[in-house]
Chains A and B, each alone.
Chain A
Amino acid sequence: MSTATMEKSAAPAAPESFTVTVIIRRFDPEVDDEPRWQDFDVEMFATDRVLDALHKIKWEQDGSLSFRRSCAHGICGSDAMRINGRNRLACKTLIKDLDITKPVYVEAIKGLPLEKDLIVDMEPFFESYREVQPFLVAASAPKEGKERIQNVAQRERFDDTTKCILCAACTSSCPVFWTDGQYFGPAAIVNAHRFIFDSRDDNAAVRLDILNDKEGVWRCRTTFNCSEACPRGIQVTQAIAEVKQAIMRGKP
């Protein structure tokens, strides 16, 4: 047994590291009139993520690089950014999945006001989110005063849209949202869908009325950018289509 351990500890090949060129769209509102591209070379392993590259740059090369991140494990939804032209979470994008023979382009998400480097003002995004009443509204007291019972099929109905982490990858990938900031955007509709199709909720009619607006679901042009960008794999366009159909039916 000890020999086996010996062999194992003697054998491990050092993981190969690569030099990755990361080109970041920088913007410092106190200095720059317009954003500029800046490139950095970082030593990375195939198992590293884009977020690790950003950390290395910030900690070892340029401390002024600004970006948001919190959990770094794909749940908090802070670090949505445009990586090689597509909206991704930096903490879920592995170096091995990118073509590192070419530089990796990193820039802030589109359609929201740029504040600094990779940070955008998320307020318009959360404003639309709040407008769809993303909370349970029940008209009746729960049976026996305890809980609102739901069967498996009823829970399954809106399961996909419960996964949203509000990272704004979908909303800022939408060509309609880029040109028309008034559009609710995919994320707000996904979170409306989550309650519209919840059997315990009694406010579906109000939410459908809010979304049956000029800037509501009808702005969706089915480009499927949102479904492709969602780091949680939510079928966003499908959810929007279901809300459209619910509005046409007049009920969920």
Chain B
Amino acid sequence: MPQKTAGTLSYQQRTTSRRPAGTLYRGREGMWSWVLHRITGVAIFFFLLVHILDTALVRVSPEAYNAVISTYQTPLMGLGEVALVAAIVFHAFNGLRIILIDFWTPKYHRAMFYVVIALWVITMLAFAPRHLINVFSH
């Protein structure tokens, strides 16, 4: 009869650990607003990086600049612009929320998060249809 050694035991336990990772921390509005703020912030940073590079192209040659800018006129880039504006609008309103938390009071942070979402939805409702009509009617 084969004996269970410490070695086989550890091997068995290694194979049964299908989900070794911990659970996701279930934070509330504050944590998710921070997560969104960080993601939109990094996304905007990379947009600005590309934006500075493409604008700097005009110093290289106006033709190269025009070539790059003309690729931005495609519907795919039009959808990308909606995502960019969505990120900037959220980051801007949530930034004001964080300023209020720091310099006014943290008491209403949860209500202020829903105000940010409401303002974001209103701004996007005003912007997105108008912008998409422009993008897809050319």
Contacts and interface: CB of A to CB of B under 8 A. Distances in A.
Interface stretch (A6-14, A132-140, A237-245): A237-245
A110 B25 contact: yes
B24 A223 contact: no
Given A37-B19, A221-B34, A223-B30, A32 B10 contact: yes
Interface stretch (B58-66, B82-90, B102-110, B121-129): B102-110
Contacts of B14: 32-34
**A interface majority secondary structure:** mixed
Interface string B1-13: 0000010011001
Contact of B22 (A107, A221, A225): A107
Contact of A85 (B20, B25, B29, B106): B25
A82 B22 contact: yes
Interface in A233-252: 235, 237-238, 241, 244
Size range of the interface on A? 20 to 34
A46 B34 CA distance: 36
Interface residues of B, number: 30
B26 A222 contact: no
A86 B26 contact: yes
Nearest to B104: A241
Given A82-B22, A85-B23, A86-B25, A237 B106 contact: yes
Contacts of A84: 23, 26
Contact of A241 (B13, B26, B34, B102): B102
B41 to A, nearest CB: 11
Interface of B: 6, 9-10, 13-14, 16-20, 22-31, 33-34, 98, 101-102, 105-107, 109-110
Q: Which 6 A-B pairs have the closest CB atoms?
A: A224-B30, A85-B26, A36-B17, A34-B20, A223-B34, A223-B31
29 contacts: A31-B6, A32-B10, A32-B17, A34-B17, A35-B17, A35-B22, A37-B17, A37-B19, A37-B20, A84-B26, A85-B23, A175-B34, A221-B34, A222-B98, A222-B106, A224-B30, A224-B31, A224-B110, A227-B30, A228-B27, A228-B30, A237-B30, A237-B106, A237-B109, A238-B105, A238-B107, A241-B101, A241-B105, A244-B102
